[in-house]
Chain A
């Protein structure tokens, strides 16, 4: 049975696949060089970063109250949203209370997750994306296809056409022109906006500092002219101490975009203090759960360490072939194949096929800056799908095989019986797995039992009698 991701990948136009492949490969290779040139043992750093994040997750009951107290002491207002809908309502309430109608947004994955922009638009409010990639996604009514590079699936000709359509100038696919036009358009929007919304890459429990990284500086602009800053933060973004940020920021820039450090790194300590010349006078931090505590209570909690760098997407051979939209989720790639079904809670079966769309090659684990054992988690979710009797997601049934493989007599009989394969053309064998194998591959000759025979008959020095013990 052909799986949705396989189908999607097969239908992906060759030029899209080529551009996803080329750019992910280039970033991955640069990332590897940067990490291994810069540090004696990057794997130790990844391990340590993973331990820090894991510690934070396992002590959220301590750190969340601590960060709330710190944020309040810093002058921010703190909100808790159990669900995505709740988080959207809180944002709407804040905007309504201020009579605000126009929001400028920095890039935040959690806002994609809870579909905030669509929600606000439905309520007659503007929510404008200011990250260039997200801006293009928005004007095209598209979806991001990569965590860090939302328009990895688009080429500049398509972008130039979108700009022309939106009245941003005559067709011109020169990247610099595209960028300049977006900048000119967005500058006016920043000045006119009432509210700036950002995410948070990290929040320090020790100081309540919110850390944001960008390469375009758009999150600074979002907070420069607006009077109100809202930060939407997944509860897993907490780190215990400010000093942990040194390690995590070093790993994030290198892993995400192969940079020593992103161009902009902001530490936000609270709203405008009396006497400060500018900055938002009001600051709200909305902590979003949206299924995370349930993930935390389960056996795949390591996935919450994720710092959304996208390195696992870049290295993943499946992502490179299928691109991000194949995953039908805000979070694509290896991390998405774990996180997306988990965040669905009871609706897990809807995306239970995602964990199967992996050859379990382990490249994702090898590059993860917080050392998430992604293949192990994919395997756990495959087993969960089986235990919860999710209708077949493409794996041949294993019961008969297991029965045979635990009975040597049956096994040996099958080894001999398999000889039939040498006489029947594979295309005539009505087993879907066999058909799928043979469509593009030959099967080697069946030689079942030959080794055992050789082992028994060889003259010297001969096998010892049976199993030891």
Chain B
């Protein structure tokens, strides 16, 4: 249970942590995040020195390497403005994982302070800003992926709130939503059979619900599931929540 204890949001400025995956593969998700935040009346800054939240080494069990990256992240996202990240997993890394690996380190307080102002995007919009309605229209049946690092956080409910607020969106449920898709960071490559078997199970459940789009707040899970579906020759359409919200503003589908 990754409950974040956070400072209430007062200002209208945020720092965007784009995530390494968006930096490398999913630029449109990061761009959509910026547009969505601006639609919500927020001024977005993008600290150019940002790299990664440090999670790969944290999960891989090399905490010394991970701390090095987290220290860089703490320096890069200095100041008081909230840090908003379009990934439940990177957010959890900062408010939970980093705190765990900095136990007993002299700079733990700085790491904790960053954690208290780090938000997953949907959580920030709904619980930080109080967004309850969303303009525009998006005609699609969508299924929401429950990424594991939002387990126990407010993100899933927040994402559902936002999706249901969009005219034209129909949210469909599917079997065993709480089961992991099998990505798991380095797990995906160290345990490829388990990882893909878990992914296949997830895809079966999702396909059975026949959504037009499978939506997530984490692109890592989507990279795994989308890649698996494509390799099978039965691709599924995946989007980040931010893309759905941004496309709704443009009055329909994009991509």
Contacts and interface: CB of A to CB of B under 8 A. Distances in A.
Contact of A9 (B26, B176, B188, B194): B194
Given A357-B191, A361-B184, A402-B68, A448 B23 contact: yes
B80 to A, nearest CB: 8
A24 to B, nearest CB: 11
Interface stretch (B30-38, B132-140, B207-215, B244-252): B30-38
Interface string A448-469: 1111101100000101111111
A383 interface: yes
Interface in A9-35: 9-10, 25
Contact of B66 (A1, A381, A398): A398
29 contacts: A1-B190, A6-B190, A317-B180, A321-B198, A322-B194, A357-B191, A359-B183, A359-B185, A359-B194, A361-B180, A373-B1, A379-B100, A379-B101, A383-B61, A383-B62, A396-B186, A396-B189, A398-B57, A398-B60, A402-B57, A402-B68, A406-B68, A406-B69, A408-B50, A445-B25, A451-B30, A461-B38, A468-B45, A468-B81
A358 interface: yes
A118 interface: no
Interface-centre pick from A2, A9, A363, A406 (highest chain B CB count, 10 A): A406
Contact of B197 (A25, A43, A321, A418): A321
Contact of B51 (A380, A382, A408): A408
B179 A317 contact: yes
A398 B72 CA distance: 16
Given A450-B27, A452-B23, A383 B176 contact: no
A394 B77 contact: no
B101 A359 contact: no
A454 B170 CA distance: 31
Interface in B145-203: 148-149, 151-152, 176, 178-180, 182-198, 201
Contacts of A467: 15, 45, 47-49, 76-79
Contacts of A10: 193
Interface-centre pick from B45, B54, B57 (highest chain A CB count, 10 A): B57
Nearest to A362: B151
B47 A442 contact: no
A376 interface: yes
B26 A447 contact: yes
Contacts of B50: 408
Contacts of B60: 382, 395-396, 398
A130 B193 CA distance: 37
A451 B23 contact: yes
A264 interface: no
- Rank and list the top 3 A-B pairs by shortest CB-CB distance, nearest first: A382-B61, A359-B184, A469-B79
A436 interface: yes
Contacts of A468: 13, 15, 45, 47, 78-81
A329 to B, nearest CB: 17
Given A394-B186, A411-B51, 17 more contacts: A7-B193, A317-B179, A361-B184, A363-B148, A366-B1, A386-B63, A396-B60, A398-B65, A404-B51, A405-B69, A408-B51, A418-B24, A437-B192, A451-B27, A465-B45, A467-B76, A468-B47
B180 A359 contact: yes
A3 interface: yes
A142 to B, nearest CB: 23
A415 interface: yes
B194 A366 contact: no
B62 A362 contact: no
Interface string A364-399: 011000000100100111111110000000111011
A347 B192 CA distance: 27
